[in-house]
């Protein structure tokens, strides 16, 4: 497998969109799926399907084994210390909700503070907002600077004896800013404050080692990592999983149920209530293998080259304003064109087969700060090339002509 012709591994690129080859620049939203992942999903449904952790027939035992193999694969990929520290969820959103709900229930009291930033996706704000409502907690926001970065000093200034958890993104889904998560964790450790990292945009692009990073929680969205839809991961340190109450109640997560008493299974099962996404979990192993075969560092190098090329080209276009100019950045280029609404940009680009996203990208706090309601966003995945950027830029020029700009 070679990154240069990796598009051929993704069947979606065989089709034309509006008569044009598909230029997919929306991977920060969701990535396309390689054939190996699709094959694993359909093979599993065709020949191996069964629910896990319940029945004792052959199919069920095999499915349970494959499901748990996937947990091992994720554990190794993240370099977690224990396989039980890997919890399957339905997405990064659910992973963060799980922590906000369970950690919040046990450890947050009225007046306690949750420290986050102005860069966050709604998924790393609204769950904390629920907690604020329920418990009378306070949310503090470290401000974003003009470059689209959050400086470590701003975080340091906001930490005090009431800070009970720091919840930060690894990479902004609007500016592509790589946050100094290592330094933030170091700072938090000095004060014994746990750190949750929203790794939704980090995991598809950066090499990860959760033991080295030493964060307490790391949330992942598998559908942005060339994996199946409807699947996420929560990495959580064992010491927290031993203490946190379950997030949802139902089948699978219990030890014993009586009319007046319920006891719970041990983790991770305690946090995996109900029927799990077995085929998706099993097929996610193939997505990890796909990334490992290419090498995450090679993927990052490749994407960095395209990003640099894209930013240079967009900067040359006088009408285009790129949002943010962070020193450390990956994959994402959000921009505006004066006089054209981002939704119109996205619609006109689509006529040329160019798929981008327009809107507030679930980051209204950041857009309020920027003083704009919406931006257009082109985001890069492993299958993109410099040619895709050329097509994007030509489509932008065409769009400007439509609006006489």
Q: How far is the CB of 332 from ligand PLP (least distance, A)?
A: 9
Q: What whole-number distance in Å separates Cα of residue 95 and Cα of residue 111?
A: 24
Helices within 204-329 (DSSP H only): 210-213, 238-243, 278-294, 296-316
Phi, psi of 257 (to 5 degrees): -125, 125
Element holding 130 (H helix, E strand)? helix 126-135
* CA-wise closest residue to 18 among 352, 300, 320: 352
* Angle between helical axes of 35-43 and 278-294 (0-180°, round to 10): 150
Is the Cβ of residue 21 or residue 180 nearer to ligand PLP in the bound state?
180
Are 166 and 214 spatial neighbours (Cβ–Cβ below 8 Å)? no
Minimum CB–partner distance for residue 356 and ligand PLP (Å): 14
Is 32 one of the binding residues for ligand PLP (CB under 6 A)? Answer: no
- ∠ at Cα 314 (311, 319), nearest 5°? 145
Rounded to whole angstroms, the Cα distance separating 99 from 70 reads 22
Q: Which of 93, 102, 116, 379 binds ligand PLP (CB under 6 A)?
A: 93
Tell me the Cα Rg of the chain.
22
In the set 22, 41, 92, 241, which binds ligand PLP (CB under 6 A)? 92
3-state secondary structure of 350: helix
Contact letters for ligand PLP, residues 204-243 (x by CB under 6 A): -----------------x-x--------x-----------
d(Cα 4, Cα 297) in Å, to the nearest integer? 15
Tell me the window of 52-60, 152-160, 194-202, 383-391 that interacts with ligand PLP (CB under 6 A): 194-202
Residue 215 annotated among the catalytic residues of the structure: no
Judged by CB under 6 A, does residue 194 bind ligand PLP?
A: no
| Residue 173 is a binding residue for ligand PLP (CB under 6 A) | yes
**What's the closest the beta carbon of residue 122 comes to ligand PLP, in angstroms?**
8
Number of amino acids touching ligand PLP (CB under 6 A):
14
Instruction: Give the chain's length.
Output: 405
Which lies closer to ligand PLP via its Cβ, residue 194 or residue 228?
A: 228
Residues between 300 and 329 with contacts to ligand PLP, criterion CB under 6 A: none
Member of 163, 201, 285, 331 binding ligand PLP (CB under 6 A): 201
| Interface pattern 153-172 for ligand PLP (x via CB under 6 A) | ----------------x---
Indicate the residue whose CB is closest to ligand PLP. Answer: 91
Shortest Cβ distance from residue 200 to ligand PLP (Å)? 4
Distance CA 164, CA 109 (A): 9
CB closer to ligand PLP out of 115 and 395: 115
DSSP-derived secondary structure letter, 23: E
HEC assignment per residue over 52-79: CCCCCCHHHHHHHHHHHHHHHHHHHHHC
Binding segment toward ligand PLP, per CB under 6 A, in 104-112, 118-126, 187-195, 347-355: 118-126
Q: Does 117 bind ligand PLP (CB under 6 A)?
A: no
Q: Which stretch binds ligand PLP (CB under 6 A): 88-96, 101-109, 298-306, 373-381?
A: 88-96
Q: In this structure, are strands 195-198 and 163-169 parallel, antiparallel, or unpaired?
A: parallel
Binding to ligand PLP by residue 121, rule CB under 6 A?
yes
- Catalytic site residue from 215, 362, 363, 399: 362
Q: Which stretch binds ligand PLP (CB under 6 A): 44-52, 105-113, 116-124, 323-331?
A: 116-124
Stretch that binds ligand PLP, among 58-66, 90-98, 205-213, 349-357 (CB under 6 A): 90-98
Q: Where are the alpha helices (DSSP H) in 108-180?
A: 126-135, 152-158
Residue of 97, 123, 300, 336 that binds ligand PLP (CB under 6 A):
123
Say if residues 275 and 251 touch (Cβ distance below 8 Å): yes
379 scored as a contact of ligand PLP (CB under 6 A): no
Give the list of residues 6+ apart from residue 4 with CB closer than 8 angstroms, or none. none
* Residues assigned a catalytic role: 362
Residues at the site binding ligand PLP, with contacts judged by CB under 6 A: 91-93, 121, 123-124, 169, 173, 198, 200-201, 221, 223, 232
């Amino acid at each position: 497998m070679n990154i240069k012709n990796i598009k051929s591994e993704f069947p979606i690129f065989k089709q034309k969109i509006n008569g044009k080859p598909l230029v997919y620049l929306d991977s920060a939203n969701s990535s396309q799926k390689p054939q190996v992942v699709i094959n694993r999903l359909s093979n599993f449904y065709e020949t191996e399907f069964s629910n896990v952790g319940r029945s004792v027939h052959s199919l069920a035992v095999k499915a349970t084994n494959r499901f748990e193999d996937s947990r091992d694969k994720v554990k190794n990929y993240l370099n977690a210390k224990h396989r039980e520290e890997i919890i399957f969820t339905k997405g990064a959103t659910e992973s963060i909700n799980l922590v906000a709900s369970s950690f919040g229930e046990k450890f947050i009291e009225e007046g306690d503070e949750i420290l986050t930033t102005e860069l966050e996706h709604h998924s790393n704000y609204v769950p904390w907002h629920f907690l604020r409502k329920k418990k009378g907690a306070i949310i503090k926001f470290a401000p974003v600077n003009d470059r689209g970065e959050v400086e470590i000093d701003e975080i340091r200034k906001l930490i005090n004896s009431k800070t009970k958890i720091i919840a930060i993104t690894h990479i902004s889904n609007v500016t592509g800013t790589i946050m100094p998560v290592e330094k933030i964790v170091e700072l938090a450790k000095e004060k014994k404050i746990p750190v949750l990292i929203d790794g939704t945009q980090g995991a598809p692009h950066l090499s990860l080692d959760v033991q080295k990073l030493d964060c307490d929680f790391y949330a992942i969205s598998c559908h942005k990592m060339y994996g199946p839809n409807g699947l996420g991961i929560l990495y959580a340190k064992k010491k927290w999983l031993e203490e946190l109450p379950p997030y949802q109640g139902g089948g699978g997560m219990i030890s014993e149920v009586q009319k007046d008493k319920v006891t719970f299974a041990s983790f991770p099962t305690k946090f995996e209530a109900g029927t799990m996404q077995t085929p998706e979990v099993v097929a996610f192993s193939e997505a990890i293998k796909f990334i490992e075969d290419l090498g995450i560092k090679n993927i990052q190098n490749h994407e960095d080259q395209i990003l640099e090329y894209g930013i240079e080209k967009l900067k040359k276009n006088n009408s285009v304003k790129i949002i943010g100019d962070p020193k450390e950045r990956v994959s994402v280029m959000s921009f505006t064109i004066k006089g054209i609404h981002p939704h119109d940009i996205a619609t006109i680009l689509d006529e040329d087969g160019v798929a981008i996203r327009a809107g507030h990208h679930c980051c209204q706090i950041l857009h309020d700060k920027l003083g704009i309601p919406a931006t257009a966003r082109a985001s890069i995945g492993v299958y993109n090339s410099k040619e895709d950027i050329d097509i994007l830029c030509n489509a932008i020029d065409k769009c400007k002509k439509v609006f006489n700009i």
